[in-house]
Amino acid sequence: MSRIDVCVAACADLFLGAGEILASPMGLIPQLGAKLARLTTEPDLLLSDGEAYLLGEHGVEGWLPYRKVFDVVAHGRRHVVMGANQLDRFGNQNISAIGDHDKPTRQLLGFRGAPGNTVNHRTSYWVPKHSRRVFVPRVDVVSGVGHDRGFHHAYRVVTNLCVLDFETPDGSMRLVSTHPGVTVDEVLDNTGFPLDIGETATTREPSRQELELIDKLDPDHARD
């Protein structure tokens, strides 16, 4: 078992108890996590191909054209796992631009679905390289809305080092668990703001059955 399998299982756990909602995992690791959840704890999870179809174990099982996604977003029965170029202590996310707004040094993806997602339904983040470049004191542009800016459903952040949530009185980020072999200091050293560290656990390792499923879902080990 490798670290990335722990990350996939942690992404699967994002959907624990979700029931019949639309899962929108952006990127390979969140996708493997959502598929693993569907095969284990959450058989009613709906998985979109990101274009027009809902996918089941045996192929297409429903039609969800792009415009319909907005209805689901507004209705709230969705959990998106987005990426983040920058993320701050209250879960403000930036995928739009780096640097001064009038003269950015990098133009990134834009706002995309981030504002609507974060005000309408549960949102988590996957950060493949936990670093001070991503975990910043202040994001350059707010794409996804954080807990200090109003109504918002940031749930968890899964990184290559740990799992974080926002279960603190002021909705700021808290360390939930470090992955096996990772120290709390390693997380703090790579985070550009103070973290609530409370009673930090170790992220669970996937079971043998889950490891077999992950191998089936990703036989070529693209996850590595």
9 SS3 class: helix
CA–CA gap between residue 181 and residue 39 (Å, rounded): 27
Do you know the residue count of the chain?
224
Phi-psi region of 171 (alpha: psi -120 to 50; beta: other; left: phi over 0): left
Quick one: CA dihedral 114, 61, 215, 17, positive or negative? Answer: positive
Q: Choose, by CB under 6 A, the member of 27, 104, 115, 171 that binds ligand F8G.
A: 27
Please pick, from the candidates 3, 77, 112, 223, the single residue that binds ligand F8G as defined by CB under 6 A.
112
Q: Counting contacts by CB under 6 A, is residue 98 touching ligand F8G? A: yes
**11 near ligand F8G (CB under 6 A):** no
> What angle (nearest 5°) sits at the alpha carbon of residue 131, between those of residues 207 and 50?
60
Asked if 133 touches ligand F8G (CB under 6 A), the answer is yes
Residue nearest to ligand F8G (CB): 83
Within positions 55 to 74, which residues make up the interface with ligand F8G, using CB under 6 A?
A: 69, 73
Q: How far is the CB of 133 from ligand F8G (least distance, A)?
A: 5
Residues that bind ligand F8G (CB under 6 A): 24, 26-27, 69, 73, 80, 82-86, 95, 98, 106, 108-109, 112-114, 117, 133-134
